Structure 1
Amino acid sequence: MAASAQTTGERTTGALPTVRRLVLYILFFILVSVAASGASGLLAIALEPGALTGTDRTSALARSIAFLVIAGPLALLLWRSLAKRLLQPAESGAPAWGLYLAAMYATALVAGSTALFSLLGNLASGRTEGWGRDLAGALVWGGVWWWHQWIWRDARRAPRVLPNLPGILGSWYGLLIGAAATATALSVVFSAVLDVYFPAPLIGNPWWQGVLAQLPWIAGGLALWWWHWTHLGMGTVRGGFADVALVLVGVLAAGAATMGGTGLLLYTLGNAALRGPSLQLLAPAPLALGMALAGAMVCSLAPPWFAGRSPGTVEAARQVVSGLGLAAGASGLGVCVNALLASLTPPLAGNNTRSLLLAGVIWLVLGALTWWRAWRPGQQADPRGRRVYLVAVFGVSAVVALVALLVAGFRLIEFLLEPDRLASGLLESVRAPVGLLTATALVSVYHFAIWRADRAVLESADAQGTGSLDSIVLVAGGGTGSLRAALAKSTGARVQLLARAGDGYLATEEELAAAIGTVEGTATRIMLLVEGPGEVRAIELE
C-alpha cells in the first residue's frame, strides 16, 4: 500500500498529469456552462410561457432539456471525482486548477451580473420585455458564481497557484462596468442639456429613463468592485497579476478613455466653431465628455492604489502613460502631414482640410503634453528600467511603417499601371500613409538616439564593473517578490529565487547588500542563503 501511494504521489508531476488536468478542467468548464445554459433556458420558459410560440418554443425547450439532462449529471459526477482529488496538495497546487477556477468564476460573474443589471435597468426605465430570460440568467449564473466562490474560499480546495486571480478579475470587472455605465449616464444627461440649445423632435423615451437604466449598472458595478477590492482584500494584494491588472485597467484603460474623450470633445467643439454650431456637429460631444469624466475619475483613484507597490510597477505605469501620449502625438503629427498634403490638391467634393488639420493639431498637442509630463525627457532615468518600453516602441513603429509602406506601394503601382490618371490623384491616395511614415520616422529616430545613449551607459557601467556580479541565487522564505526586484535593480545581476518553507527566513535589502559586500575576489555568481531572521550568508558559486 505504501509503495502504491508513493507511486501515485510521484505521478502527480510530469507531462501526463498536466495534460490530464487540462483535459478534465476544460471538460468540466464546458459541462458546467452547458448545464447552466440549459437550466436558465428552462427557467426562462417557465417564467415567461408566452415569450416563445410554435417551433421556436419547441426548439428552445428541447435544447434546454438536452443541455441540462445530459451535461448536468456529467458535471456532478466529474465534480465528485475532482473534489476528492483537490484534497491532495499536488492537485490543488496545479496551475490548471487555478486557471479553471478563475475562468469559471469570471464567466459566471459576468453572465449573472449582466443579466441582473439588464433586468433592473429595463424595469427602472419602464420596459418589461425579456424579463423572464434576464431573471433566469441572473438566478442560475448567480448560483454558479456563488458555488465557485464557496470553492475558492474553501481552505482545503483553494488553489495554491494564482490564488487571488478570481478576486482580481472580479474587482476590475466591477470597476470597468461601473465606469462604463457612468460614462453612458453622463452622456445622456449632457445630450439632454444639448437638446435645450438645439431643440429637436422627441423620438423615443424621455432622457431621464436612459439615466435610470444605467443606475443598476453603476451601483452593481461599484458594489462588485467594493466586494472584491475591500471586503475580500484584493486591494492589498501586491505583485504578479495584481500589479499587471492595475497597470492595464487603472492606467492604460482609464488613461485611454480620458485622453480619447478629451480629444474627441476638443475636436467636436473646435469643428463646430469653424463650421458653425449645429446639433449634427455637436452630437459626439456628450459621449466624449462622459467618457473623459469617467476615465478621469478612475485615474484620480489610481495613485493611492500604487502605495506599497514595487518600483517596477510604478515605472511601468509611468511608461504606459508615456506610450499613450506618444501614440496620440504621433497620430496627430501624421494627420497634420496628411492635411498639409491635402491642401496641395484640389478638393473633389467639399473641403475638409481645416477639420483634418484641427484634429491633427489637437491630438498632437494633447499627446505631446501627456508624453512630456510622463516621459520627462530632461531628467535622468535608469537605462535598465526602460529597455522594454523602447523595444515596444520600435516594434509598434515597425508594424505601422510596414503597413504604411504597403499601402503607399500599392497606390504607387496602381498609379503607374494607369498613366492617364492625374498626379493629384496619386498625392490624394498616398497622403495618409505618407503622414504615418513621417510620424513613425520621427518617433523612431528620437527613440533610437535614446536607445544608443542608454546602451553606451550600460556598456560603460559593465566595463567599469569587471568582476561584478552576473547572477545571484536568493534562497529565502516569505513574500520575496519585491525584494528580488530590488536586488536585481541595485546589482544589475540576474536574480533567481529559491523559496524555502517558513516566514522566518526573511532579510532586508540592507542585510543582503552587506552580505554581498563580504564576497571577495572576482566572483560573478553567488548564492545568498538566508539562514534566519537577519542572518544572511554569501556563498561564491564561481
Structure 2
Amino acid sequence: MAASAQTTGAQATGALPTVRRLVLYILFFTLVTVAAMGASGLLALGMSPGETAGTGRTSALARAIAFLVIAGPLALLLWRTLSKRLLQPAESAAPAWGLYLAAMYATALITASTSSFSLLGTLAMGRTDGWGQDLAAALVWGGVWWWHQRIWRNARIAPRSLPNLPGILGSWYGLLVGATAVAFALSVVFSAALGTFFHAPSIGSPWWKGMLAQLPWIAGGLAVWWWHWVRRGMGLVRGGFADVALVLVGVLAAGAATLGSAGYLLYTFGNAALRGPSLQLLAPAPLALGTALAGSLVCSLAPAWFAGRLPGTLEAGRQVVSGLGLAAGASGLGVCINAALASLVPPLAGDNTRSLLLAGLIWLVLGAVTWWRAWRPGKPADPRGRRVYLVAVFGISAVVALIALLVAGFRFIEFLLEPDRLASGLLESVRAPIGLLTATALVSLYHFVVWRADRTVLETTETQADGALESILLVAGGDARPLRAALAKSTGARVRLLARAGDEYQATEEELAAAIASVDGAGPRIMLLIDGPGSVRAIELE
C-alpha cells in the first residue's frame, strides 16, 4: 500500500500533469479561435449581405455556422472544467495556464484592434469596402479580449506564473503600432512636401486623406500602450520578461529602426547630390525620415523606462546598442572594401562605384560612432558582464564568415569550370563576399583580443579568490546577530552563528578582523571563538 501511494504521488507530480495541461490549453486555444472566426464570419455576412453571392456566400455561411456551432459549445464545456481546476493553487500556478492566457489575450487584442483601426482608417479616406468584415472582427474579437482581461483580473483564477505577461505583450504591441503609424504619417507629409519641390503629378487620393488614415492607428496604438503601461501598471514591473521585452523592443527594435533609417536617409541625400537631385532618387527619403524620427522618439523615452532597473538590464541595453553599431560599422567596412575592389575592374554597365563607396562610408561612420559611444573602449568594464555579448559576436561572425566563404568558393569553382560565363572576371564575382569576410575577420580579431584580456582578468580574480573565506562559524554569547551581519558584509563569506550559554562575551569588528588575519590563507572555513573580553580565537576547519 505504501509503495502504491508513493507511485501515485510520483505520477501526480511528474510529467503527466504538465502534458495534460499543455494538451488542454492548446485544445482550448484552438476551440476559442475557431468559434470566434465562425462568429465574426457569420456577423460579417449579416452586416454586408451584398458582398458575396451565389456559391461563395453559401460556402462562407456554412463554414461560419459549422465553426460556431461545433467549436463554441465545446469551448464553453471545456472552460467550465478548466475554471473549476483553476481554483486549485497548483493549476493556477502552472506555466501552461499563464502562457495560454497571454497567447489568447495577445491574439484577441491584435485582431480586434487592427480590425478597428483599419475600419476607422478606411472610413476616414471615404471608402466603405470591407467595413462589414472589419466591424464583425472588431466586435467578436473585442469580446474575446474583454473576457480574457476579466480572467486576468480575477484574483481567484489569474495565473500565478507569468502573471504580467499579457500586459507586457499588450503594452509593447500598442507602442509598436503607434510608432509605426507615426512613421507612415510623417512619410505622407514629407512625400507631399517633396512633391511640391519637384511638381509631381497627384495620382489617387489627396495626401491629407492618407494622413487621416493613419490617425486611428496612432491614437489607438498609443491608447493600447497607455492602458497597459500606465493603467495596468506594466511600467512599474521589474525583472524577468519585462526587462527582456524592454531591451528587445525599446532598444533593439527602436535602435535598429533609427540607425537603419538614418543611414538610408543620408545615403539617399548623398546619392542625389552625386547624381543630381530628382524625384526618383529622393523618393525613399520621406519614409526613411519618418521612420528615423519615430524610432528616435521611442529611443528618447528609453532612459526613463530603464530607471530603477537591475544593473544587468542596463548593461544588456548598452550591449545591444553596441551590437547594432558593430553590425552597421562592419557592414559599412565590407561595402567599402567591395567598392575598392570594384574600382580595380572595368564596370559592365555604368559606374556605381561612387554610390557603393558612399553607402559604405555612411554605414561605417554611423556604426563606428554608435559602437564607440556604447562600447566605450579603453574604459574599465566588468568582464563577467560582457561574456554573453562576446560569445554572440563570435557566433554571428562565424555564421557570416561561413556564408561569405561558401559564396566565394562557389564563385571561384564556377569561374574555374566556366571562365567564359563570368565575363567580368573572378574579382568582380567575389568582391562582395571578400568584403564581408575581411570585415568579419577584423571584428573577430578585435573581440578575440578583448576576450583574451577579460579571461586573464577573470583567471587572476579567481586565483586571488582561491584563498578567500567561504564560511565562518561564529561562536559568541548574547545577541550576536549584529556582529554576524557585519562579519558577513566585511568578508563576503557565509556566517553561521552558534550561541554560547553562560556568558555574554562579545567582540568588536576589529578584533574579529585581526583574528581572521592571523589565519589568512590557511583555509576556506574557519571558526571564530570568543573566549572572553578581547579574546578571540580563530580555528581552521577541515
TM-score computed with the length of structure 1 as normaliser: 0.87
Question: What's 1:513 paired with?
Answer: 489
Match of 1:232 in 2: 232
- Using the TM superposition, give the Cα deviation of residue 59 of structure 1 relative to its aligned residue in structure 2, in angstroms: 1.1
| Structure 2 partner of 1:418 | 418
* Residue 421 of structure 1, CA deviation: 5.5
Distance 2:298 2:57 in 1: 45
Q: CA deviation at 1:201?
A: 1.7
Taking only the aligned residue pairs, the percentage that are identical comes to 79
Tell me which residue corresponds to 1:496: none
**2:314 alignment partner in structure 1:** 314
Q: Which has the larger radius of gyration?
A: 2
SS for the counterpart of 1:205 is: coil
Q: 2:179 is matched by which residue type in structure 1? A: A
Change (3 A) 1:510 1:349: farther
Map residues 127-276 of structure 1 onto 2, 5 A cutoff.
127-276=127-276
One-letter code aligned to 1:516: G
1:503 is aligned to none
How many Å apart are 1:378 and its aligned residue? 1.5
1:426-441 equivalences in 2 (<5 Å): 426-441=426-441
Residue 437 of structure 1 deviates from its aligned partner by: 0.3
| Aligned residues of 1:12 and 1:91 also touching (Cα < 8 A) | no
State the Cα distance separating 1:516 from its structure 2 match. Answer: 3.4
C-alpha separation in 1, matches of 2:5 and 2:156: 20
Q: For the Cα contact (< 8 Å) 2:326–2:367, is it kept in 1?
A: yes
Distance 2:293 2:63 in 1: 45
What is the rounded CA distance, in whole Å, between the counterparts of 2:149 and 2:9 in structure 1?
A: 28
Counterpart secondary structure, 1:77: helix
Q: CA deviation at 1:418?
A: 1.7
- Supply the distance in 2 between the matched residues of 1:50 and 1:10 (Cα, whole angstroms): 61
What RMSD over aligned residues (CA atoms) do the two structures have, in Å?
2.3
Q: Deviations over 1:306-356 (max 9, x none)?
A: 111000000000000000000000000000001111111111111111100
Q: Can you list the C-alpha shifts for 1:149-190, whole angstroms capped at 9, x where unaligned?
A: 000110000000000000000000000000000000000000
Give the structure 2 partner of residue 123 of structure 1: 123
Q: How does 1:48-63 map to 2 (within 5 A)?
A: 48-63=48-63
Report which stretch shifted further, 511-520 or 176-185.
511-520
Matched position secondary structure for 1:462: helix
Which residue does the alignment assign to 1:39? 39
Q: Which runs of 5+ in 2 are unaligned?
A: 472-484, 496-515, 517-521, 527-539
Instruction: Please give the per-residue CA displacement for 1:340-387, whole angstroms capped at 9, x wherever unaligned.
Output: 111111111111111000000000000000000000001000000000
Equivalent pair of 1:468/1:524 in contact (CA under 8 Å): no
Q: Name 2:112's counterpart in structure 1.
A: 112
- The 3 A distance-change label for structure 1 pair 160 and 380 is same
Write the letter of the residue equivalent to 2:276.
Answer: G
- Equivalent-residue separation in structure 2 for 1:524 and 1:107 (angstroms): 56
8 Å contact kept, 1:467–1:524: no
Shift of residue 79 of structure 1? 0.3
Structure 1: stretches of 5+ with no match in the other structure: 472-508, 526-539
Cα gap change, 1:470 to 1:457, in 2 (>3 Å): farther
**Per-residue deviation, residues 474-529 of structure 1 (Å, max 9, x unmatched):** xxxxxxxxxxxxxxxxxxxxxxxxxxxxxxxxxxx98963583464774489xxxx
Q: After the TM superposition, list the runs of 4 or more consecutive aligned residues in structure 1 that deviate by more than 3 angstroms.
A: 4-12, 419-424, 467-471, 509-512, 514-525
- 1:272, 1:281 within 8 Å by CA — same for their partners in 2? yes
2:348–2:424: 8 Å Cα contact kept in structure 1? no
State the match for 2:390 in structure 1.
Answer: 390
Shift of 1:236: 0.3
- Contact 1:328-1:366 within 8 A present in 2 as well: yes
Cα deviation code 1:282-323 (max 9, x no counterpart): 000000000000000000011011111000000000000000
1:447 aligns with 447
> How big is the shift at 1:7?
9.9
Separation in structure 1 between the aligned mates of residue 300 and residue 487 of structure 2, nearest angstrom: 37
For residue 541 of structure 1, report the CA deviation from its aligned partner. Answer: 12
Deviation at 1:270, TM superposition (A): 0.2
- Helix, strand or coil: the match of 2:425? helix
- TM-superposition CA deviations, 1:262-289 (whole Å, max 9, x none): 0010000000000000000000000000
Q: Deviation at 1:54?
A: 1.3
Structure 1 residue 5: Cα displacement: 12
Distance 1:397 1:80 in 2: 52
Report how far residue 56 of structure 1 moved.
1.2
2:353 counterpart of 1:377? no
CA contact under 8 A between 2:469 and 2:491: conserved in structure 1? no
Cross-structure match for 1:22: 22
1:29-108 aligned within 5 A: 29-108=29-108
Conserved 8 A contact 2:171-2:226 = yes
